[in-house]
């Protein structure tokens, strides 16, 4: 299991980077988490693939491509007031873990297992 709280190793800024801090800095992350929480595996089909929903294949748009635009090295929409921690991998790791873990797990023969 990936820890939810990561303290940057470079010690330049040792402020705790947790989910609440990230959402405060980038509120669109809350929308992304809600989107993941709203994904349902209704159990009616022979399989469900959380990774297809996450990465964006088998007809899914993908949540990860949206995450990448909000946090980490490929964050878009640079503003002068942007907190630089949003561009770092610790922030990306926290957000990735939080949103991905909200998805229902793969089930059946989706091809991931
Ligand atoms: Zn799968």
Distance 41 CA to ligand 1 centre (A): 12
**How do residues 68-96 score in pLDDT, each as one tens digit?**
999 999 998 667 778 889 999 999 999 99
Token pair listed for 40: 């349902």
Question: How close is the Cα of 72 to the center of ligand 1, in Å?
Answer: 25
For residue 107, give the 3-state DSSP assignment: strand
Q: What are phi and psi of 39, to 5 degrees?
A: -75, 130
> Cα(110) to centroid of ligand 1, in Å?
5
pLDDT tens-digit readout, 7-52:
444 444 545 689 999 999 999 999 999 999 999 999 999 999 999 9
| 75, 79, 81, 83 alpha-carbon torsion, rounded to 10° | 10
Cross-strand pairs, 61: none
Write the DSSP symbol of residue 24: H
Name the residues around ion ligand 1, CB cutoff 5 A: 49, 51, 106, 110, 112
């Amino acid at each position: 299991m990936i820890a939810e709280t990561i303290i940057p190793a470079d010690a330049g800024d040792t402020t705790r980077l947790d989910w609440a801090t990230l959402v405060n800095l980038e509120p669109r992350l809350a929308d992304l988490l809600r989107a993941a929480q709203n994904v349902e595996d209704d159990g009616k089909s022979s399989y469900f693939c959380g990774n297809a929903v996450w990465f964006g294949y088998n007809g899914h748009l993908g949540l990860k491509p949206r995450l990448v635009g909000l946090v980490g090295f490929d964050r878009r929409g640079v503003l002068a007031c942007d907190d630089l921690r949003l561009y770092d991998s610790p922030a990306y790791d926290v957000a990735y873990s939080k949103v991905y873990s909200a998805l229902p797990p793969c089930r059946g023969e989706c091809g991931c297992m």
